[in-house]
Structure formats: structure tokens, C-alpha cells
Chain A
Amino acid sequence: MTSFLKKHGIWMLTLLVALLAFPPQWYPDPVRVKLTEWFGAASFRPLPASTAAQSIEPESFCPPDPSGWRDEQKIEGVQISASAPCVADNPYAVAAFVKGTNNVSEDTLLKSGLTADAVVKGRDLDGDGDPDEIHIRLEVAELNGGSSITREPVTSFDIAPGVSPGMWVFAPKFVGMAVENFESNVARYSLRLPSPAIRIEQGDQVYVTLENSHYMPHTLHLHGADHGFTDVSGEGNDGVPLTSEMPVLPGDARTYELTPRQSGTMYYHCHVQPHVHVQMGLQGLFIIEENRPNNTLQTMNIGAGLVRAPSVASVESYDREYDLHYLDLDKELSERIQKYNDPRLITQSMHRDYDITDASVDFFTLNGRSFPYTFRESLLVGAENERIKLRVVNGGSKGIALHTHGHKYTVTHRDGVPLPEAVQVPQDVVWLATSQRVDLSLELTNDGLRAYGPGIWLFHDHQNQGVTTDGIGPGGNISAIVYEEYLQDSGWPNTRGVSMDKYFTDAYYRREVPVWEDYAPGLFSQAGNDPVMFVRVILLALSLGILAALLLTALMRRRA
């Protein structure tokens, strides 16, 4: 007996442990039915308790505005309207864009941060009181890029809390560092998604110099804007390497020319490997305003959004004008610039390894940000009975179904061309194909058709993925039409819904926060783990391992 136990005791004991540890809910159904016939249901064992709620430490919703950039002001004789949301453009840059960086005082130029040649305005060629010779300079910047000394994204720009996909943008020409200050890695406000909206006047003689400060070749293609295939000197002017010119190599500069005969909301983008470069953010609104007397334009609108010094034609018909740039981003493409530092490896990864035909997009931005940051800077603020003009481009790779709550707007222009009155009907979903532009007229007239009255009315892409950030909602391009009386002094809307604290944390977009936990703690919290099940699984795994080893030794011994 003892010798039998000595020989077989260990494996029999281990097998017994394995059988006892095996969770009864994993038994085959016939066995469970039979057991139930004999003993009835197993006795009650409470489901695991919820785990304790994480403490939520949100970022500040509304950054302070110590220099009063949001206020209505007059700089160098340029009237700059108030910008109601939390984050506003630097008014000195707005003034310099209007007057020309060659025509403002040194003080204004310093406060704007721009170089003296960023936007040079020359003669009034048609004698109607505004300059018609315009020379614009654009640089190219990489945001959230890679490095050989840190794993953190370099020159960082968060589209949402903790979300920093790599991207490329055209940028106005500023003096100095690419970051806020020496102790920061955050991109300066001039370096951001989207590339700036550019505004010129019909008939202007416009020169756009691309100063390629990036490590890849790029060009400028003026999509939809009237320009010659060649410039006056016979050089290619369409920005297309295939048909028009050698791209601008890193460190080089090239000037494009146009004198557009037609007005309208157009588009500019890089045309080098465009399936990648356009998707990475090298694109912006290119707006040609109707020629009017004394029509001195705000040549650039950094980050798009509210036009603080609108054109004569805009002021004639509208109370406010907003530039809206929609763009989606593919995480699997964006992260490639963060993985490598060697430009040869980045080029291979983006232009040979990446296959856009297998790709899907993950991030959805409005004016470079996703919710909740859209609520900081991209709210459409208005007052009852106002008429608001929206110039919209869909720069993304998928269509967008632009939907308003509480309003119906009208498409007045498509791809920069006015539509006949007969088809200008109110809509609450407007479809924009890739690279399509629409001009929308939004009337805050409370008649039950155009508007339903004051409030905070959501404004978003109604395709379901568009309201998420990598599949986490709320995120994506959600913004809102907010009536002034619903806005706090800080610019944050007086919402009446749920707390937005958790949306202002990285953890939420890392999928770590239960979406409804704060509504009813316990009911919707994170389910805890089952310790009994854990012990069973551990014992089962251990005993199966021991059994396997015993079996193997027995077999080897038998062979020997």
C-alpha cells in the first residue's frame, strides 16, 4: 500500500487538485444538467464588488487670458472683434496680417512674433484703397515628431488630452523657437493644426513662397484657385511633381504666383506623395474674397476659426464669419514619424511600408482639435437674429455629414461657386466629400425652421465615428453653436448636462475611465475581479503543469 502511494500518490493528488480547481461553470452542459438534477443550483455567491472610482484630476477647462487676447480691440488702426471662446488668436498677429508685416511698428511686430517678411503688402494696383500686391511666406513644421534622445513627442500639440498624433503643417513665418519657451516642449501657438486659412482678394497679385523648413520635399498646390500652369518666368506653378515642377527640397524655397479672376472658398495643399502628405495635415483653406473698395484683408487666420477682421463683403451680409477646417488622421500613419529619426527610414516607412488602401482613420478634428478642446476654441458663438457665415472644408479622407442641432443652414456656395437661389434650401445635414468646400449661411432667427431659439446646440459630423477619438466618445469634431447669453465670462459655455471633468483627463481617452461612473457610482463602475476564480485558475494551471512534467518523466524513464 505504501509503495503504491509512493509510486502513484503524487500524480493522483495533483489530478485531484486539478479536478477540484476546475471551475464548475466550465463543465460541459450535459454534466451541469445532471449535477443540477441531483443537487439543484449552486448556492449564491455575490458577484465581485465594483472597484473604487479613480480620482479625476481634470485639466483646466479654460486656460487664462492674461494679456486680453480675447477682447475687442484696435491695433494700428485695425478693428479686431472680440473672440468669445476661451482661447483666441494673438490680436497683434491679426493686426500684422491685416496691415502687412512690412507696414506695422516694430512693437506690434515683436508682439505678433512674426518676421518682417511674413506677409508683405505692396501697392494698390486698382486704386480702390487696399493693397493688391501680396507676398505670403509659409514654412513647414512637424508636430509630435520623433527624436534620437527622447521618446516624448517633440514640438508637442495635443488634439485632445494626452492625444498627440504626429502631423505636418504649413505655418506662418514667426521669429524664434518652435516651442513656447525653453523649459517647454509644447509647440508655440503659431505651430498648430490646421495650417492657417489664407485670405486674398479677387484680382490681387499674390506670391506665396514656400520655405521648406521640413526634412522632406514638399510643394504648394492651389486647389480650386485660379492660377496659371506656369508663372511669368515659365516655371511650373501647379505644385504637382508629376506634371509641373521639381518639388521644393529641404532648406530650399520656391514662390508660386496667382492673380485669381474668381472669388470663392478654395483650398491649398502639398502635392508630393499627396495620399500621405495631405493626410498628415499639409493643407489649408485658401479663400478668395470678392474685390471691394477699401477691402484690406486678414491674410492669415491661424488655426482657422473666427475671422476677427472680416472682409467688406462679409460685413455687408453677415454679422460674423468662421473658417472651419475638418480633418481626420490615421494613427498608424501618424506614429511613423515618431518611431524613427533618420529621414531615410521615415520616408521608407511612410511611402513604401504604409499601405493606405488598408488604412482606416482614428482621429477627427475641427480646426485642429478634438472634443473637449474644440469647446475651448472652436465654438460658434452668436446672438439671436444674427447671420453667420461658415466657410467649411473637409480635408479628411472620408466624407462628413455636417449636422446642426436647433438650426437649419443653407449652402450658398459649393467649391467656391455660388449656387442658384432655387437650390438654396435649409438643411440640417450637409454632405462634404473629401476636399470639398461649402459656404454656409447660418441664421439665428427663431422661426422654428432656421433656428429654435437660444441655447447650446451641438454641431458635429453625424457619421458615428466622427464624434469619437480613436473610438472613444464623446470626442472627434463635436462643437456647438452657443448663444452669447449661454457663455460665461471666461468663454466656457454654461452647459446643463453632465460634468465634463473626466473628458479633460488623459485617462479617459486611454479607455481607463468607466463612461457613466459619476452618474450612479456603483451601478456603472468598473466591475472588480473574482478572487475565488483567480485561485481556481492558478491552482488548475499549476497542477496541469505538474501533471505534464510527471507524464513526460514517466515516459522518458520507460524508454530508458
Chain B
Amino acid sequence: MFLRLALLVFLPAAVAAQQMDHSEHEMTVGTTGVVMNENRDTLPRGCTEVSRDHSFTIYAGREYADQQHGMMFGMSEHEVQVEPCSRVEITFVNEDGIRHQWMVHGLPKYLYPAGMFHIEAMGEQTQKGVFIVPPEDKTYLIHCDMAQHMEKGMRGQLVVGKGSGDLWSVPGISDDYYRFPYLSARSAYVAVFLALAGFLATFWLAGKRK
């Protein structure tokens, strides 16, 4: 699971020229934000019809980090569950004074350039977008791709059908892959003391038995 995720998000810089930035995407840019690769009608391969229509409203901002310790940004929903071949409408409400994004990765590239569907809302703006999910049971990464926003709480998962297992480090859903131990310096002394005490006690008891 982690490997797949690592491959998805952290493939080392392919030769990708900076200059080709986003050029292949279908983009709608407005003053309230951006929707990239919207798809209302084209069915993914393996779908015969739109199975159903889902609609979600996702609120984003610092306020939604309060539910999770050690985070700074957040979303009202960190998991979105949909049926295979369904049409998903996302209303993304940004309550902060800065940009935020709701971005799905790993969608089929023949339909979604670079495999992504992306909603970006400017500060205090709402942005709506629609896309159709493929037929396979799969768990997709959702995140805000502003620097450090995913790491500091804006990470979620889109579960299509039964999904393919939880992703790591989704607030409220799954644990951190690299989890800090959260121990005080004093606990190290306690551990050393206990190891020593255990040794001495056993040594003493073993000697007595003889």
C-alpha cells in the first residue's frame, strides 16, 4: 500500500520540463478559482452508464484542523465514498483567506490528463466541479497541493466501491507512516532505570535460587 502511494506521489523528478506546466489540462480559470479536467459526460472505459449521481460539500480551512491535533489545515470530510461509474459533484467551500485545493490523483490518464481532477478555490470562495469515476474498486488520494498543506492536514481519500485499502496518514482515518514517538526526555531515563532494575532483580533472584 505504502509503496503504491509512494510511487504515486513521490516519483523523483522525471525530466518533465518546468516550462510545460499544466499545458495539457482542460482548465477553467475564474476569479473565484479553477477547475481542471472537469468531466460531466464521458464515461470511463468499462462503464456502460452513470451508475448514480453523488454530491458532496467539502469545507476547507484552518478551522477544520482543530479536530485533529498536530495539524494546521483541514477539510470537513477526509473520506469520500462513491459507487463505481458514478458522477461526483464536489462543492468546495474555502473558509480561509488563502487558496486551497481539492485534488484527486491516479484517475485514468486517457480521460483525465495526468490522471487528475482538480478544484482550486481562492480565499473565501466556493468552487464546484464534476467528474465520473472508473468502474474499479480503488482508493484514490485526495489532497491540497499547496506546499505543506497535505502534510499539515489536507489529505484525504476517495473510495470507489470497496476501495483498495486505506492510504497512510489520512487524518481521522489512518495513522501516520512515520509517527513521532511523543515521549519526554525523562522517559528515556525511566527506561534505562527500569532495564537496570530488571537486570539486578533477576540476577539477585537467580543467585538466591542456587
Query: Is the Cβ of B114 less than 8 Å from the Cβ of A215?
Result: no
Bound form: Cα–Cα A179–B144 in Å: 12
Query: Is the Cβ of A184 less than 8 Å from the Cβ of B98?
Result: no
> Which segment of A9-17, A37-45, A244-252, A434-442 sits at the interface?
A244-252
* B138 interfacial by beta-carbon distance below 8 Å: no
Closest to B97 in A: A253
> Which segment of A107-115, A368-376, A480-488, A507-515 sits at the interface?
A107-115
Query: Is the Cβ of A341 less than 8 Å from the Cβ of B180?
Result: yes
Number of B residues near A (Cβ < 8 Å) is 57
* A142 interfacial by beta-carbon distance below 8 Å: yes
Bound form: Cα–Cα A250–B69 in Å: 15
Chain B residues contacting A109 (CB-CB under 8 Å) are: 29
Query: Is the Cβ of B73 less than 8 Å from the Cβ of A179?
Result: no
Bound form: Cα–Cα A288–B118 in Å: 38
Min CB–CB distance A225 → chain B (angstroms) = 24
Query: Is the Cβ of B147 less than 8 Å from the Cβ of A251?
Result: no
Given the interface pairs A215-B73, A341-B70, the reply to whether A148 lies near B146 with Cβ below 8 Å is: no
Bound form: Cα–Cα A145–B147 in Å: 9
Chain A residues contacting B11 (CB-CB under 8 Å) are: 183-185
* A141 interfacial by beta-carbon distance below 8 Å: yes
> Which segment of A64-72, A276-284, A545-553 sits at the interface?
A64-72
Min CB–CB distance A215 → chain B (angstroms) = 4
Bound form: Cα–Cα A252–B70 in Å: 19
Query: Is the Cβ of A180 less than 8 Å from the Cβ of B98?
Result: no
Chain B residues contacting A173 (CB-CB under 8 Å) are: 99
Partner of A213, one of B6, B27, B146: B146
> Which segment of B45-53, B171-179, B195-203 sits at the interface?
B171-179
> Which segment of A19-27, A150-158, A230-238, A310-318 sits at the interface?
A150-158
B57-77 at interface with A (beta carbon < 8 Å): 61-62, 69-73
Chain A residues contacting B61 (CB-CB under 8 Å) are: 251
Q: Which of A252, A343, A344 has the most CB of B within 10 A?
A: A343
Query: Is the Cβ of A344 less than 8 Å from the Cβ of B114?
Result: no
Query: Is the Cβ of A64 less than 8 Å from the Cβ of B70?
Result: no
> Which segment of A75-83, A187-195, A450-458 sits at the interface?
A187-195
Given the interface pairs A110-B29, A215-B73, A341-B178, the reply to whether A251 lies near B98 with Cβ below 8 Å is: yes
B26-42 at interface with A (beta carbon < 8 Å): 27, 29-31, 34, 36
Given the interface pairs A110-B27, A149-B168, A185-B10, the reply to whether A213 lies near B99 with Cβ below 8 Å is: yes
Query: Is the Cβ of A139 less than 8 Å from the Cβ of B31?
Result: no
Bound form: Cα–Cα A64–B148 in Å: 29
Closest to A214 in B: B148
Closest to B95 in A: A251
Closest to B167 in A: A149
Query: Is the Cβ of A252 less than 8 Å from the Cβ of B114?
Result: no
Number of A residues near B (Cβ < 8 Å) is 62
Chain B residues contacting A146 (CB-CB under 8 Å) are: 151
Chain B residues contacting A106 (CB-CB under 8 Å) are: 29
Bound form: Cα–Cα A554–B100 in Å: 74
* A116 interfacial by beta-carbon distance below 8 Å: yes
Q: Which of A145, A156, A176, A252 has the most CB of B within 10 A?
A: A176
Query: Is the Cβ of A212 less than 8 Å from the Cβ of B13?
Result: no
Closest to A106 in B: B29
Min CB–CB distance B207 → chain A (angstroms) = 13
Query: Is the Cβ of A211 less than 8 Å from the Cβ of B123?
Result: yes
Chain B residues contacting A139 (CB-CB under 8 Å) are: 98-99, 146
Query: Is the Cβ of A182 less than 8 Å from the Cβ of B19?
Result: no
* A49 interfacial by beta-carbon distance below 8 Å: no
Chain B residues contacting A176 (CB-CB under 8 Å) are: 21-22, 34, 36, 118, 120, 145
Bound form: Cα–Cα A147–B192 in Å: 30
Chain B residues contacting A113 (CB-CB under 8 Å) are: 21-22
Partner of A188, one of B18, B27, B180: B18
Query: Is the Cβ of B178 less than 8 Å from the Cβ of A155?
Result: no
Query: Is the Cβ of B98 less than 8 Å from the Cβ of A149?
Result: no
Closest to A151 in B: B178
Query: Is the Cβ of A187 less than 8 Å from the Cβ of B29?
Result: no
Min CB–CB distance B208 → chain A (angstroms) = 17
Bound form: Cα–Cα A150–B16 in Å: 21
Chain B residues contacting A67 (CB-CB under 8 Å) are: 19
Partner of A251, one of B6, B14, B73: B73
Query: Is the Cβ of A178 less than 8 Å from the Cβ of B145?
Result: yes
Chain B residues contacting A253 (CB-CB under 8 Å) are: 97-98, 123
Min CB–CB distance B141 → chain A (angstroms) = 10
Query: Is the Cβ of A251 less than 8 Å from the Cβ of B96?
Result: yes
* A340 interfacial by beta-carbon distance below 8 Å: yes
Bound form: Cα–Cα A182–B114 in Å: 7
Chain A residues contacting B62 (CB-CB under 8 Å) are: 249-252
* B91 interfacial by beta-carbon distance below 8 Å: no
Chain B residues contacting A344 (CB-CB under 8 Å) are: 70
Chain B residues contacting A341 (CB-CB under 8 Å) are: 70, 151-152, 176, 178, 180
Query: Is the Cβ of B151 less than 8 Å from the Cβ of A154?
Result: yes
Bound form: Cα–Cα A307–B99 in Å: 28
Min CB–CB distance A403 → chain B (angstroms) = 32
Given the interface pairs A150-B6, A154-B148, A180-B13, the reply to whether A211 lies near B116 with Cβ below 8 Å is: no
* A345 interfacial by beta-carbon distance below 8 Å: yes
Bound form: Cα–Cα A188–B13 in Å: 11
Query: Is the Cβ of A90 less than 8 Å from the Cβ of B19?
Result: yes
Closest to A146 in B: B151
Chain A residues contacting B118 (CB-CB under 8 Å) are: 176-177
Closest 7 CB pairs of A and B: A251-B96, A253-B97, A342-B70, A215-B72, A251-B62, A148-B176, A141-B147
A-B contact pairs, 27 of them (CB 8 A): A110-B27, A113-B21, A117-B31, A139-B146, A142-B148, A148-B169, A149-B9, A149-B169, A152-B10, A154-B148, A175-B120, A177-B103, A178-B145, A179-B145, A181-B21, A182-B115, A189-B18, A211-B97, A211-B98, A211-B123, A212-B98, A213-B98, A213-B147, A250-B73, A252-B96, A341-B70, A342-B180
**Residues of B at under 8 Å CB distance from A?**
2, 5-6, 9-14, 16-22, 27, 29-31, 34, 36, 61-62, 69-73, 96-99, 101, 103, 105, 114-116, 118, 120, 122-123, 145-149, 151-152, 168-169, 176-180
**Residues of A at under 8 Å CB distance from B?**
63-67, 69, 90, 106, 109-110, 113, 115-117, 139, 141-143, 145-152, 154-156, 173, 175-189, 191, 211-215, 249-253, 340-345
Task: Name 4 extra pairs, CB < 8 A, besides A149-B176, A152-B12, A250-B62.
Answer: A150-B10, A150-B177, A154-B147, A341-B151
